[in-house]
Amino acid sequence: MELIDIGINLTHDSYDADRDAVLARAAVAGVTQMVVTGASIESSRAAAELARRYPGRLFATAGVHPHHAEHLDDANLALLEQAAGLDGVVAVGECGLDYFRDFAPRPAQRRAFVRQLELAVRLHKPVFLHQRDAHEDFIAILADFIGELPRAVAHCFTGSGAQLAAYLDMGLHIGITGWICDERRGGGLKSLVPEIPAERLMIETDGPYLLPRDLVPKPATRRNEPAYLPHIAAVIAASRGEPLALLAASSARAARRFFGLGAAELHASPESR
């Protein structure tokens, strides 16, 4: 059994002291490939560098999260386009709208979202999408581009049945995280995952965030990591009423097709340290 983590913030400073050990634990757990999320110009470059060091095992996205939308001026858009063109960068994003935190003004979020969708169309790359408490504006903007985008995934989906139906109608893939393991908030998601076609369902940790709350024994820290992806996959499989091996195979196949990944190279040595 092999798994692919399509969303891991591996450039986060919480991994700085033991990143190689995190990768080693992931390999032992059967997580053969990971897509490292870029959420700013700096983290996108760092994600691309990790993909360069671990070819065939790590890949990257390049994007500006809505929290940082105010910084996506013309100069930074040019830098983002450079990062998106680097080897190993397989998608544009994380991009979208976040009206829950509102760390950036909503007009700035919408402008940054449009600019990154335009970039994805120009580069003919899939998009890695973020949406929280902004569904109506999100789909209104996305609708103008969906016919030109090669593929799009709603990363860390936690929405309603109506939102899921809207995303599926638009042709989106769906990323499911350890949110589904949360006994307080994950019940609705458990009831919805059977509705996602297997060829459009992908799985992710979104580490270091969203540590599954039902892990036993509980980890010593709240940091999430790819080694916990098999646990998340098992909860998703149970919610869909299917064997874990089937969910693992279908989600890995969907991820490879979506991001254009080659076969895993678990034993490839990094080019540099």
Residue 23 has pLDDT above 80, yes or no: yes
Q: What percentage of the chain reaches a pLDDT higher than 90? A: 93
Q: What are phi and psi of 194, to 5 degrees?
A: -65, -20
CATH code (residue 151) = 3.20.20.140
Instruction: Give the domain extent around 186.
Output: 3-259
Question: For residue range 102-146, what is the model confidence (pLDDT) as tens digits?
Answer: 999 999 999 999 999 999 999 999 999 999 999 999 999 999 999
Question: For residue range 29-65, what is the model confidence (pLDDT) as tens digits?
Answer: 999 999 999 999 999 999 999 999 999 999 999 999 9
Residue 266 confidence (pLDDT): 55
Classify residue 105: in a domain, yes or no. Answer: yes
Residue 226 confidence (pLDDT): 98
Classify residue 40: in a domain, yes or no. Answer: yes
Q: Give the Å distances, CA to CA, from 262 to 86, 138, 154, 199, 244.
A: 17, 31, 22, 17, 23
Find the mean pLDDT for residues 86-113: 97
Classify residue 265: in a domain, yes or no. Answer: no
Residue 271 confidence (pLDDT): 45
- CA atoms of 104 and 91, how far apart (whole Å): 23
Find the mean pLDDT for residues 161-175: 98
Determine the length of the chain.
273
**Average pLDDT of the chain to the nearest whole number:** 95
Q: Which two tokens stand for residue 142?
A: 């996305």
Question: For residue range 209-267, what is the model confidence (pLDDT) as tens digits?
Answer: 999 999 999 999 999 999 999 999 999 999 999 999 999 999 999 999 999 998 776 54
Classify residue 272: in a domain, yes or no. Answer: no
- Sign of the torsion angle spanned by Cα atoms 84, 90, 91, 93: negative
- The rounded Cα 159 to chain-centroid distance in angstroms is 16
Q: Which two tokens stand for residue 138?
A: 């999100």
Classify residue 201: in a domain, yes or no. Answer: yes
Classify residue 269: in a domain, yes or no. Answer: no
* CB distance 158 to 185 below 8 Å: yes
Domains contained in the chain, number: 1
Classify residue 273: in a domain, yes or no. Answer: no
Question: For residue range 181-214, what is the model confidence (pLDDT) as tens digits?
Answer: 998 888 899 999 999 999 999 999 999 999 999 9
Classify residue 204: in a domain, yes or no. Answer: yes
